[in-house]
Structure 1
Amino acid sequence: MKRLITICAALAMTLVLAAAATAQETLTVDIFGPGQRKVNMVILPPRALQDDLPPMAQTFEQTVENNLSYLPFLEETPMDQLLGGDPSTGVKSTEIDFRPLQLAKIDLVMTSGWNSNGLEVRVYDTFGRRMIIGKAYGRVTQDNIVDIADRFSSAFVDALTGKKAFFDSPLAFVRQLGKSKEIYTVLPQGRELTRITTMGGFNLGPAWSPDGSRLAFTHIGEKSHYLGVYEKNTGKTELYTDKLGQSVISPEFMPGGGLAVTLNRHGHADIYKLDSAFKPQRALVKSSFIDVSPSFDRTGRHMVFTSGRAGNPHIYMMDLQTGKIRRITLDGTYNTHPCLSPDGRYIAYNRRTGSGHRIFVHDLETSRERQVSFGPGSDEYPAFGPDGYFIAFASNRSGQYRLYLTTRHGDAAKMIKTGSGAAFAPAWDTALQ
């Protein structure tokens, strides 16, 4: 369920900044380019514009700081490292002395002001003294302040990079509970951990619907495999078996409607499209080899999957309009669990190497591959975020499988808090917020 907050007013948002008196340039971060520009930022202490500063002001600041710590292109400078301390007397640009910020090579400065009507937040470019983003929020309470901080963080990243951030996009994953495996969801920041399944057995391979309203998964019971579908709005889960056979593996919703899943109906594993009643409609990929793990771009035109048709598991891509299939991975002898980025340009997958499984990213435009995880242990189950920039994956580098975040460029991985028990098989809700 999407979290709603009341926005009293939206202040001006602009990316055009003055870098010098005689020239204009745009301060942006090209997160999709070959390199990333490091941006230095300072968050100034919150200010009370009327009355006293509420306790939730600290909650807002801490939440934003934690959110921004996930961004490898952003470097926060602690306020106490500024020569002369706080260079502001208020929250507006006319109330900030930008000179010490410029001398300290600070690119961005954030201010927050609190009054009886709510919260005002602004981020300025220190060299151009222009506002990049400003937001005003009303009816702010202790119950919704974290949601507001997430929304502001996403809007700020959008203004800086042109891409939506992941701060309010949940991950589904599998968590080990004794002898059973259950489906959970969690925000990438480690908040709002929620158990989805409570049926025991093995519940595996979660996958979100394009609008984020449903989760499909495989339930392995005592006698058979089942297709499980969880409805987020009602909290109810239904199990389906009719005409699916004894094996139901790696379900994945299709953007154009329907559900793709690997079934063993004729003695070998093929990928089928299911209809709205979750019954087999037609085979998408059919061969005498094992074909599993379908993944789609946001348009639903292309599907990537794993197949053993070359003698070893490799990654293939199918044009669903023409039916043409081409092999993607040529190196290695064991490439599995592909995930196609929402924009359809990149494929993340894991490859078995001499030192364990590692995550690789294949650029479909250039055919270049990049290793983006480096262990120790094994790194598996990559899942692109909604922006196609961040990648969640599972790793046992700490001795037990946990979830981690990295980027398409292979930046340092950051662990996601998921509670006790092994965690693996992340699936990111890529619905546009």
Structure 2
Amino acid sequence: MKNNNFRIRTSVFGLVAVFMLMLIAVSDLYAADTLTVDIYGPGQRKVNIILLPPKTVPEGKYQNSKDKDLPLPAEAGTFSDDLAKDLAYLPFLNIVPITDILGGDPSRGVRPGDIDIKPLRLSKVDLALTTGWEIRPNGDKNLLLRCIGTFNGRTILGKKYSMVTEETLPRIADRFSSHLMRILTGRDGFFESSIAFVRKDGKNKEIYTVSPQGRNLRQISALGGINLSPNWSPDGNRLVFTRLGSRQHLLCVWDRATGKIDQKSFPGNTVIGPDFLPDGNMAATLTMNGNSDIFLINGNYKPTKALAKSWAIEVSPDFDRTGQKMVFTSSRFGNPHIFLLDMNSGVVTRVTTKGKYNTNPTISPDGRFVAFSRQTPLGHRIFVHDLKDGSERQLTFGPGNDEEPAFGPDGYFIAFSSSRSGKYKIYLTTRHGDPAMMVPTGNGVAKAPAWGKAHKL
């Protein structure tokens, strides 16, 4: 159903094992550039970054005069494309093409001293990213990545990856992009996250997962029939969803470690919109007493108490990271609206007052913002409500219908489903309403995104 300012700091060079990938720490201290971007404020600024053409560089004792003439490996172009695609997902970055630089490529190498900073400054470039390929005599390849600030020409982030292969390059691009986001914003999580969603395969609807950039597409369920409403556990190790059986709804829990799916039934035979609480318990709409109420469900799959109860339909629970706030949809006042439950006091307050059809709420991890879908004369659109000041903002404008928003783990990005391309697919925007980007999910209709942690890169 619903599924910083930043300060440029010291660079750390490293080598960490990822498959055949190793990271060996080497530290250097650099004076700090100062740039300011508050991705959570209303006026986020753009940082201009340029990806300079990759270079072949000599390595240590293997250096000789012929190294500079070594051709780039075949993977160099593909990796540069992967890195550019990753950085394009960060809307606070503006990628400047090399053709915008007077005189073309201002670099003769990959170190700060190898780059003529002046033409970059003239083109208002804030950051320059260099890629160096070391080709060892045995054929092994090392990859050196640097992000250099044009304010004082110093490295703000540097990483060296050893024994790289074509298979590990996409993960290197993700890893470096994650480090860079952390440096620039103080936050990360985007490149380490995973989106669960429902994909229609023929007559069936099954649960899949994919990274926000469309990597690692994986089918989770193969149960046949209709499987709906996936949601992640806080640690990203489990997924809960609903299976519509021939006679009853089943609550299903997939375990990442084992790949197994537990299926549980409940009195009333209805399970709608299950979700995890931060403590590992669950909540879902059940019809135990004839009404559709939201119940707390413990780790033994036993309903313990009603969290939202009325004569009307109560659905779509979602929780902040503390578990103290629960948003949900209720028709207790006639039309569906969004409500907020204080889990400590039990007090319920109404969030939305505008519109006649508000559904699919998702609350940001910090508990401040609630995104939801509202029916408008032009179709369903995504809105965000600020619980602190009561303000409301429309984030999406179609075409088609925009529905089922889901906050990312950082509270900045929002995933949603949209029919703007003719059939429903998963898209990404931000809390500020940045232009939507489609997530590659393969063939078929894709709906009901749920955003959670995956694994550290």
Q: Give yes or no for TM over 0.5.
A: yes
- TM-align CA RMSD: 1.9
- 1:129 lines up with 2:148 in the alignment: no
1:119 aligns with 143
Q: Residues 15, 211 of structure 1: CA spacing in aligned structure 2 closer, same or farther, 3 A cutoff?
A: farther
Q: Which residue of 1 aligns with 2:115?
A: 96
Work out whether 1:62 is the aligned partner of 2:81.
Answer: yes
Does 2:162 correspond to 1:138? yes
Deviations along 1:12-46, one digit per CA (max 9) or x if unpaired, are 587931xxxxxxxx213211111121111111112
Aligned with 1:108 (options 90, 105, 127): 127
The answer on whether the counterparts of 1:386 and 1:432 sit within 8 Å (CA) in structure 2 is no
Conserved 8 A contact 1:11-1:134 = no
Larger mean Cα displacement after TM superposition, 300-309 or 112-121: 112-121
Partner of 1:31: 39
What does residue 236 of structure 2 align with?
212
Distance 1:341 1:15 in 2: 35
Q: Distance in 2 between matches of 1:417 and 1:9?
A: 35
Corresponding residue for 1:158?
182
2:349 corresponds to 1:341: no
Aligned to 1:6: 22
Residues 185-206 of structure 1, C-alpha deviations (whole Å, 9 max, x = no match)? 1111122211111111110000
2:192 touches 2:453 (CA, 8 Å); kept in 1?
Answer: no
| Alpha-carbon distance in structure 2 between the residues aligned to 1:271 and 1:330 | 22
- Compared CA separation, residues 150 and 135, structure 1 to 2 (3 A): same
1:337 and 1:350 in contact (8 A); partners too: yes
Instruction: Summarize the Cα distance change of 1:10–1:343 in structure 2 as closer, same or farther, 3 Å threshold.
Output: farther
- State the SS of the aligned residue for 1:227: strand
What pairs with 1:374-385 in structure 2 (closer than 5 Å)?
A: 374-385=397-408
Return the alpha-carbon distance in structure 2 between the equivalents of residues 59 and 404 of structure 1: 24
**1:11 touches 1:135 (CA, 8 Å); kept in 2?**
no
Q: Corresponding residue for 1:173?
A: 197
CA distance in 1, matches of 2:28, 2:314: 51
Tell me: higher relative CO, structure 1 or 2? Use CA pairs within 8 A at least 6 residues apart.
2
CA–CA separation in structure 2 for the residues paired with 1:175 and 1:32: 32
1:314 aligned residue: 337
* C-alpha separation in 2, matches of 1:11 and 1:190: 33
Change (3 A) 1:358 1:15: farther
Shift of 1:231: 0.9
Hey, what does 2:97 align to over in structure 1?
A: 78
CA shift digits 1:251-294 (9 cap, x unpaired): 10100220111101001111111111222122222222211101
Tell me how far 1:244 sits from its aligned partner.
4.3
Report the residue type matching 2:446 in the other structure. Answer: A
TM-aligned CA deviation for residue 174 of structure 1: 0.5
* 1:32 aligned counterpart, secondary structure: coil
* 1:48 equivalenced with 2:72 (yes/no): no
In the alignment, structure 2 segments of 5+ residues that lack a partner are 1-16, 59-66
Question: Of 261, 279, 282, which aligns to 1:237?
Answer: 261
- CA distance, structure 2, for counterparts of residue 291 and residue 424 of structure 1: 21
State how far apart, in whole Å, the 2-side matches of 1:3 and 1:257 are.
Answer: 29
**More off after superposition, 133-142 vs 300-309:** 133-142
- Offset, 1:56: 2.8
Tell me whether 82-91 or 93-102 shows the greater mean CA deviation: 82-91
Cα deviation, residue 161, structure 1: 1.3
Looking at structure 1, the residues matched to 431 and 125 of structure 2 have their Cα atoms a distance apart, in angstroms, of 26
> How far does the alpha carbon of each residue in 1:398-426 deviate from its partner, in whole angstroms, 9 at most, with x for none?
21111111111111111111112111100
Contact 1:383/1:391 (CA < 8 Å) preserved in 2? yes
* Counterpart for residue 62 of structure 2: none
Match of 1:16 among 25, 29, 32: 32
CA contact (8 A) 1:42 1:109 kept: yes
Unaligned runs of 5+ in 1: 18-25
- 2:409 aligns with 386
CA shift at 1:369, angstroms?
A: 0.7
- Of stretches 279-288 and 382-391 in structure 1, the one that deviates more from structure 2 is 279-288
- Structure 1: which amino acid aligns with 2:259? G
Q: Report how many aligned residue pairs link the two structures.
A: 423
CA distance in 2, matches of 1:3, 1:114: 18
Shift of 1:298: 1.0
Provide the rounded CA distance (Å) in 1 between the counterparts of 2:251 and 2:383.
29
Structure 1 position 54, deviation (Å): 2.8
Contact 2:192 2:455 in 1 (8 A): no
In structure 2, what residue type is equivalent to 1:7? L
Residue range with higher mean Cα deviation, 346-355 or 39-48: 39-48
- Who is 1:302 aligned against? 325
- The aligned runs of 1:409-420 (5 Å cut-off) are 409-420=432-443
Distance 1:431 1:386, change over 3 A: farther
Identity within the alignment, %: 53
Cα distance in 2 between the residues matched to 1:120 and 1:258: 44
The residue type equivalent to 2:449 in the other structure is P
Of 103, 106, 117, which aligns to 1:87? 106
Contact 2:268 2:290 in 1 (8 A): no
Shift in alpha-carbon separation, 1:184–1:283, aligned structure 2, 3 A? same
TM-score computed with the length of structure 2 as normaliser: 0.89
Partner residue of 1:22?
none
TM-score by length of 1: 0.93
